[in-house]
Structure 1
Amino acid sequence: MKIRRLSILLSAILIMSFLTGFSPQSTYVSNSFDSSLVVQEDRDASIANLYALIEKFEKDGEFASTAASRILKTHIAAVEHYEKNKSFKKAIKHMEGFQILLTSQEEGGLISENAAGALREYTDSLISNWEVIFDSERVMDHIRQLSVAIGPRVAGSSEEKQAAQYLKNEFESYGYDTSLQEFPINNRVERKLQIITDKNNKLPLGAASGSIETGEHGVTGNLFDAGLGLPNQFTDSARGKIALIQRGENSYWEKVQNATEAGAIGVVIYDNIDSLTPLRPALNNSSRIPVVGTSKKDGETLRTQLSKEEVKANLLVQTQRNQNSQNVIAVKKPANVINPEIVYITSHYDSIAFSPGANDDASGTSTIVEMARIMKDMPTDKEIRFVAFGAEEIGLVGSNEYVRQLPQADIDRSGVNFQLEMLGAKYEPASYLAVNTVDGQPNRIWDFTNAAFDKLGKDKEKLILFRRGSSDHVPFHNLGITAACFNMGTVSGGLEPEYHTPHDTIENISPERLQFAGDIISTAIFEYLAQTALGEPILEEAS
């Protein structure tokens, strides 16, 4: 009877916890179990409480042996590590294993039915709580898919479309009404230098102004080491080959002219100074052969390879025409609310050429996917729209197209736009969360973010307000919708050196920074959603 009362009380507490929501200061079950559970406010509802509950049942003789209870305690001791490190995805997986172990013990008569039921209910509660906590490990999974499995996602490319489909599938898996919004984009020049080997390596290239375009299949030939591209450095063997030339000594145009006169079919000019971005030669004239630039590191690597063996390559410079991009839109509408306020949670998922875009902006996009997951069952009287924009890198095309197509009725009930950009740079100075508004003035989003820092006990010196556009919050602001863009950066507003380079990779992403930003932004959004809508919501009468 005593155990049954304990189970009933525990169930009541768990239901209360679920209805009131989880927070870092959630309901705690005390280690003291003299007659009933004691509820306190200043401790986490956690593995420690589950451990104490097992010890109570052990003391009351609800286990057939101490070995049975020891197995359960050993299992959850490992889970506590994941809980403390906010690795909730792993914690949930191990707690599901705990439930299997619990069922096995109950079936084997090693634990009483009432004790097993109480532990199972508490475990269910922990899992439910963890399911709605922002988890950077899940964000990293999405970043890995976008930046590693798919890679650079240039507007209009097949990779961008692949990323859009991936995001659509993720939103749909959470139960959102999801769609793709296609739109045309301007022509773009594609550049490829593919080293024809077993691996078919492709090098990051810079545009050369004045370069002629190639045909659909580019030009193919062996590379020729032309040094600095001086006339006496070209021999008859340069004919029909792609000239590899170092920057310096003479102008870019002179190098190209000398290569053309020597019969070369293309030119690759590599930098003479270290840089994370490829060289972009300015020819100031129109060449008769295709010309591209690359970095010092990549150029020297090719030159070293050439000193050992022949290197065959394919060089492509071609305009891609009549292309489309697409926005991915996932919508959650409240039940029985007419004309609810719309809250937009947005990012962009495209990247620049040759950049995997792990931070810019797979980090922001992966964060809104994680927020969609934890908000899928959240009750609210507002309409939530998650939008991943395409073609941001070529001029905010996707977001401008999205707001252009908004009906006036939607504009009238639009509340705020939370735009997420570059939240995970590992770069040490980029430890500040910036709230960027177009006019540099604080707004409602700033107010809720400021309050989230207080609620979570974060260092307010790490929160900064900037006047900055250059992202997808701008079209919303221009439409009169309260908007702000979030990013992790330096105290002066700077970005990491890997920004817009081939080095924007998942190796340069910090899960800790993602967790820091995600905790704050999700708290700000949750608190905003909990407030009264723009006007008193009109509830439909039940039929």
Structure 2
Amino acid sequence: MKIRRFGTLMSAVLISSTLVGFSPKSIEYSQTSSTPIVQEESQASIVNMQALIDRLEKDGEITSAAVARALKTHITAVGHYESSKSYKKAIKHMESFHVLLNNYEKTRMISGNAANLLSEYADALIGQWDVIFDSERVMDHIRELSVEIGTRVPGSEGEKQAAEYLKNQFQSLGYETSIQEFAISNRTERTLKILTNKNKEIALGAATGSAGTGENGVTGDIYNAGLGLPGDFSAAAKGKIALIQRGDNTFQEKVQNATNAGAIGVVIYDNVDTVTPLRPTLNGNSTIPVVGTTKELGESLLAQLSKGTVKGKLVIHTFSNQTSQNVVAVKKPANVVNPKIVYITSHYDSVNYSPGANDDASGTGTIVEMARILKNSLTDKELRFVAFGAEEIGLVGSNYYVKNLPQADIDRSEINFQMEMLGSKYEPGSYLAFNTVDGKTNIAWDYTNAAFDKQGKDKEKLILFRRGSSDHVPFHNAGIIASCFNMGTKSGGLEPEYHTYRDTIENVSPERIQFAGDVISATIWDYLVDHSFIAKEIKDAS
């Protein structure tokens, strides 16, 4: 048995050991001293910490059974968070354990030695948990991207806000972070903001033949124009945005009737249930802006109108000279010349009118979480985390990034792990798809397969799928080993909320993200350990 004194060094050993793949140590007492010693064969745990409290009480270093009971009760509560994989909460409550220890030490209810030993063990457990993938943290990022920022269309202000948020996140973790800007094609914005409902945006479909509005759009009250028949309009329609149901007459007739009545815009909603907004086709050109929406959203506007005035701002405008941006975060190993590069990537933009919670705030939140748990990793690899912009308009950001890599970087590039849509609640979408451009296995597949085995997961839930259409494609085309992870159906299908306004945080499953994150983090950890001489030497020495 190897024996070490438990102290600050032990906390570092525990953290490092998790990073390189061997089990952290547990505390026991020697036969001749109350100073704990470390055993190789078991992991630091809540149970062992409770045993330590029992021993300290027995030795008189905790003054009463009531104090020991209070300490153990706190630790038991922390253990519940650990059991549910709520590691962020476990860390927070274990940190508050330090406050409890300080108070008991000040009142001399526990000895200084007991306070130090329990504090050291608490730090060791915190260090242990701090390098475990935590879906709660991912959900925080999803909330910021899809709720606080919202739609992140390439070139839009929302996409730029998201880039700044991600840059700040990576910088806070200690990464060398930069923004890579690039040009994109003109962007036509179609938005209807309901100004009386916290500027909520309604999902819209383009109408052929519609007039534009200019950058400032048109603003007016919403007017219920029924089916858009001549008799559905009164003098009150003038200067308002007409809300019209599909059916009975043509789109062109509806729009002409609205124009004749002096309406400043038209929103036509569907008469059948779909998740894709209606795209009206006009026979000729309209002199006022025209858009379509779904039956659900049209009827929601009618419901609001029944309660009072609803004011909206309708914009149909084409923006030129547009740019998007990639967010690049780098961790270089010390004292390694020309290290191999490992890429961990996602895209953070979304399609028009979609909050993009699963596609792909879930993947982006996951790479930020991977950056957190890898920030102190012992590896000789250069780690690059890249959040790509403009994926939704043709992988523009990732193509630009790879195309502009110097040849020396291409030569050093070893592997790419892409994260895409990892958390849909869609019941059949419980399978982790390992996607490659050619549908063939690669070394990342081997590690993913092994991670399923190590974690005792159902291998039926892992599928190999041939799929491009994500940011691993440019890496593959450049001759770099590349794969993309996503959660989907057994046949490789996606959830019905995909690319719709229903891709919201309410339809994201933390449990699915944790499932995928457990596998993906183990895949990347083990790959780094086995392909890094620094980590391998430490692992072998242990």
Fold conserved (TM > 0.5)? Answer: yes
Q: Distance in 2 between matches of 1:508 and 1:366?
A: 15
Distance apart, 1:222 and its partner CA: 3.8
Q: What residue is the counterpart of 2:271 in the other structure?
A: 272
Distance apart, 1:390 and its partner CA: 0.8
The code of the aligned residue for 1:361 comes to D
Distance 1:399 1:284, change over 3 A: farther
The code of the aligned residue for 1:483 comes to A
Instruction: Please say if residues 20 and 529 of structure 2, whose CA atoms lie closer than 8 Å, have aligned partners that are also in contact.
Output: no
Deviations 1:252-308 (A, max 9, x none): 233333433444332211011112232122335432221100111221233344456
The code of the aligned residue for 2:442 comes to N
Instruction: Please say if residues 28 and 39 of structure 2, whose CA atoms lie closer than 8 Å, have aligned partners that are also in contact.
Output: no
Instruction: Please say if residues 7 and 117 of structure 1, whose CA atoms lie closer than 8 Å, have aligned partners that are also in contact.
Output: no
Q: Distance in 1 between matches of 2:241 and 2:11?
A: 71
Distance 1:392 1:22, change over 3 A: closer
Q: Distance in 1 between matches of 2:526 and 2:124?
A: 22
Task: Report 1:156-171 matches (<5 A).
Answer: 156-171=155-170
Deviations 1:414-440 (A, max 9, x none): 111100011111122111110111111
The code of the aligned residue for 1:144 comes to R
Q: Distance in 2 between matches of 1:18 and 1:244?
A: 60
Shifted more, 82-91 versus 253-262: the winner is 253-262
SS of residue matched to 2:97 = helix
1:509 and 2:540 are equivalent in the alignment: no
Distance 1:17 1:262, change over 3 A: closer
Shifted more, 343-352 versus 302-311: the winner is 302-311
Q: What residue is the counterpart of 1:129 in the other structure?
A: 128
Distance 1:40 1:485, change over 3 A: same
The code of the aligned residue for 1:389 comes to F
SS of residue matched to 2:414 = strand
Instruction: Please say if residues 436 and 468 of structure 1, whose CA atoms lie closer than 8 Å, have aligned partners that are also in contact.
Output: yes
SS of residue matched to 1:215 = coil
Q: Distance in 1 between matches of 2:350 and 2:95?
A: 38
Q: What residue is the counterpart of 1:540 in the other structure?
A: none
Q: Distance in 2 between matches of 1:282 and 1:289?
A: 14
Q: What residue is the counterpart of 1:63 in the other structure?
A: 62
Distance apart, 1:240 and its partner CA: 4.0
Distance apart, 1:57 and its partner CA: 1.5
Distance apart, 1:332 and its partner CA: 0.6
Q: What residue is the counterpart of 1:488 in the other structure?
A: 487
Distance apart, 1:84 and its partner CA: 0.5
Instruction: Please say if residues 25 and 44 of structure 1, whose CA atoms lie closer than 8 Å, have aligned partners that are also in contact.
Output: no
Instruction: Please say if residues 251 and 282 of structure 2, whose CA atoms lie closer than 8 Å, have aligned partners that are also in contact.
Output: yes
1:20 and 2:17 are equivalent in the alignment: yes
Distance 1:151 1:11, change over 3 A: closer
Instruction: Please say if residues 132 and 375 of structure 1, whose CA atoms lie closer than 8 Å, have aligned partners that are also in contact.
Output: yes
The code of the aligned residue for 2:445 comes to W
Q: What residue is the counterpart of 2:71 in the other structure?
A: 72
1:8 and 2:9 are equivalent in the alignment: no
Distance 1:238 1:32, change over 3 A: same
Q: Distance in 2 between matches of 1:27 and 1:382?
A: 23
Give the fraction of aligned pairs with identical amino acids, expressed as a percent.
65
Distance apart, 1:359 and its partner CA: 0.8
Q: What residue is the counterpart of 2:259 in the other structure?
A: 260
SS of residue matched to 1:118 = helix
Q: What residue is the counterpart of 1:114 in the other structure?
A: 113
Q: What residue is the counterpart of 1:435 in the other structure?
A: 434
Structure 1, gaps ≥5 residues long: 538-543
Distance apart, 1:355 and its partner CA: 1.4
Deviations 1:2-33 (A, max 9, x none): xxx99936888766544432699834648898
Q: What residue is the counterpart of 1:541 in the other structure?
A: none
Q: What residue is the counterpart of 2:522 in the other structure?
A: 523
User: What is the CA RMSD across the aligned residues, in angstroms?
Assistant: 2.6
Task: Report 1:408-423 matches (<5 A).
Answer: 408-423=407-422
Q: What residue is the counterpart of 1:206 in the other structure?
A: 205
Q: Distance in 2 between matches of 1:528 and 1:204?
A: 42
SS of residue matched to 1:316 = strand
SS of residue matched to 1:100 = helix
Q: What residue is the counterpart of 1:389 in the other structure?
A: 388
Shifted more, 408-417 versus 308-317: the winner is 308-317
Distance 1:101 1:311, change over 3 A: closer
1:445 and 2:444 are equivalent in the alignment: yes
Q: Distance in 1 between matches of 2:222 and 2:188?
A: 23
SS of residue matched to 1:167 = helix
Shifted more, 95-104 versus 330-339: the winner is 95-104
Instruction: Please say if residues 7 and 114 of structure 1, whose CA atoms lie closer than 8 Å, have aligned partners that are also in contact.
Output: no
Distance 1:222 1:106, change over 3 A: closer
Q: Distance in 1 between matches of 2:68 and 2:43?
A: 23
Q: Distance in 2 between matches of 1:46 and 1:23?
A: 19
The code of the aligned residue for 2:482 comes to A
Deviations 1:155-178 (A, max 9, x none): 111111111111111111111100
Distance 1:509 1:311, change over 3 A: closer
Q: Distance in 1 between matches of 2:174 and 2:506?
A: 32
Distance 1:308 1:11, change over 3 A: closer
Q: What residue is the counterpart of 2:294 in the other structure?
A: 295
1:325 and 2:319 are equivalent in the alignment: no
Distance apart, 1:242 and its partner CA: 2.8
Instruction: Please say if residues 379 and 532 of structure 2, whose CA atoms lie closer than 8 Å, have aligned partners that are also in contact.
Output: no
SS of residue matched to 1:21 = helix
Q: Distance in 2 between matches of 1:124 and 1:311?
A: 55
Q: Distance in 1 between matches of 2:3 and 2:68?
A: 18
Q: Distance in 2 between matches of 1:272 and 1:326?
A: 39
- TM value normalised by structure 2: 0.91
Distance 1:313 1:119, change over 3 A: closer
Instruction: Please say if residues 141 and 365 of structure 2, whose CA atoms lie closer than 8 Å, have aligned partners that are also in contact.
Output: yes
Q: What residue is the counterpart of 2:224 in the other structure?
A: 225
The code of the aligned residue for 1:183 comes to F
Instruction: Please say if residues 193 and 203 of structure 1, whose CA atoms lie closer than 8 Å, have aligned partners that are also in contact.
Output: yes
Deviations 1:24-77 (A, max 9, x none): 983464889877868474x65311110011111112222222222222112111
Q: Distance in 2 between matches of 1:119 and 1:12?
A: 15
Q: Distance in 1 between matches of 2:21 and 2:214?
A: 60
Q: Distance in 2 between matches of 1:227 and 1:123?
A: 66
Distance 1:70 1:25, change over 3 A: farther
